[in-house]
Structure 1
Amino acid sequence: MQITILVGSVHGNASAVAQALQMAADDIAAQITVLPMDGLGIAVFDQPGAFIICTSTTGSGDVPDNAQALFHSLDAQAKYLGHVRFGLVALCDSSYGDSFMGGGKQFDERLRDLGARRVGEVCVLDTMETSQPEEDAVAWLKAWAVQLATVA
C-alpha cells in the first residue's frame, strides 16, 4: 500500500506528526512518503495510492502558509478527484473557538467537493486534549489503514 502524507505546518508540529506516521509504515505494511505542501498543486493527486492531509491551522482558521498554493490550486485548477482516497490529521487548539480545526476543515470540504473520498474519521489532535500527538496519530493510522483496505 502506497500512502503520501501532505504536510501543512506552521511551527513544525504537523511535520513531527507526519514523521511519526512515516515511521509506523511497517506496522501497517505500507510505503509512506512525506511531502511538505510547499509549492505543490492539485497535480500531486495524480500519484497512485492514498493520501493523508496532515495540517495545522493558523490565523483565523486558515491553512498554513506553506499549504496555500496547494489549497488554492484546488479552486484555480479544479478537476474531478473521484479516484482519491484520503485521511485527515488536523492539528488544532479548541481554545480558538470558531476557528478550531479550520485548516483541516477547509481541506476536507474542498477535496470532498471535488469528488475525493475521505476514509474514516478525522484524527483531531487538539493541543488542549492531548500531550502525545504523535502517539495518538499513530494509533489513528493503524485503524485508518484497516478502513482504507476495505474501500481501496
Structure 2
Amino acid sequence: MADPIKILVGTMTGTAEMVAEDMQAAIEAETERETEILLMDDLDETVFDDVEAVYLIVTSTYGQGDVPDNALDFYEALEEKAPDLSGIRFGVFGLGDSTYADTFNHGGKRFEKVLRERGARQIGERFAHNASGGDLPEDAGVEWVRQWLGELNRSQEAA
C-alpha cells in the first residue's frame, strides 16, 4: 500500500479547504493512496508523528503576508518548539493575490521555510496560485497535485 497523504489546510474563507477537497478527490481517483484532510485549527507538531505519511500543506495568505488565523497556532508551534522533522516529506500549495506584491503567497512561503528548517524534505516546488491570474484555484490545485504525485512517486522509486 502506498504511503497515505495528509492534507493540512490553513484557510480564512474556505477557499483553501475547497481546493484541498478537489485535490483529495483527484488523488483518490488516480492512486491507491488513502488521504485525509485536516484543518489546522487544532493541530500541533504531533501531527507529524506519522512518519509514513506524506504531508501536503494547502494554505492561503492573510493580512500582511501572514498565515491564516486557523493556522497561526500550528505555525507558531513549528517555529517555537522546533521539532525534528527529518524523515517527513511534504509539498506546499499556496494561495495568494499578486495585487499584494510585497506579501504575495507568504502563507505558503512561511510553511515551506519552517518545514525545511526543521529538516523535512520537500517534494516538488511550492505552487503559488494567484487569485488575480484568472484560473480557478481548485482547477490549478488538481492540475498541480497530479504533477506533484508524479514527483512523489519518482522520489519514492529513487529511495
The bucket for the TM-score relative to the shorter chain is: over 0.9
Q: Select which of 100, 103, 125 maps to 1:121.
A: 125
Identify the residue that residue 131 of structure 1 maps to in structure 2. 135
* Cα deviation digits, residues 115-144 of structure 1 (max 9, x gap): 111111112211011332111111111111
Name the residue aligned to 1:84.
88
Deviation, 1:67, is: 0.2
Paired residues, what number? 152
In 2, distance between residues paired with 1:30 and 1:139?
17
The residue type paired with residue 148 of structure 1 is L
Answer whether contact 2:66 2:107 (CA < 8 A) is retained: yes
Q: Note if contact 1:41-1:70 (Cα within 8 Å) is conserved in structure 2.
A: yes
| Counterpart amino acid of residue 8 in structure 1 | G
Could you tell me whether the CA contact under 8 Å between 1:28 and 1:142 is conserved in 2? no
Counting only pairs closer than 5 Å after superposition, residues 1-150 of structure 1 correspond to structure 2 as: 1=2, 2-24=4-26, 25-47=28-50, 48-150=52-154
Q: Deviation of residue 90 (structure 1)?
A: 0.3
1:32 deviation in Å?
A: 1.1
Query: What residue identity is the alignment partner of 2:142?
Result: V
Q: Secondary structure at the match of 2:116?
A: helix
3-state secondary structure, aligned to 1:147 = helix
Q: Which residue identity does 1:22 align to in structure 2?
A: Q
Unaligned runs of 5+ in 1: none
Q: Percent identity?
A: 39
TM-score, normalised by the number of residues in structure 2: 0.91
Query: SS in structure 2 opposite 1:51?
Result: strand
d(CA) in 2 for partners of 1:109, 1:119 = 13
The runs of 5 or more residues in structure 2 that have no matched partner are none
CA distance in 1, matches of 2:136, 2:72: 27
The 2-side partners of 1:121 and 1:29 are apart by: 23
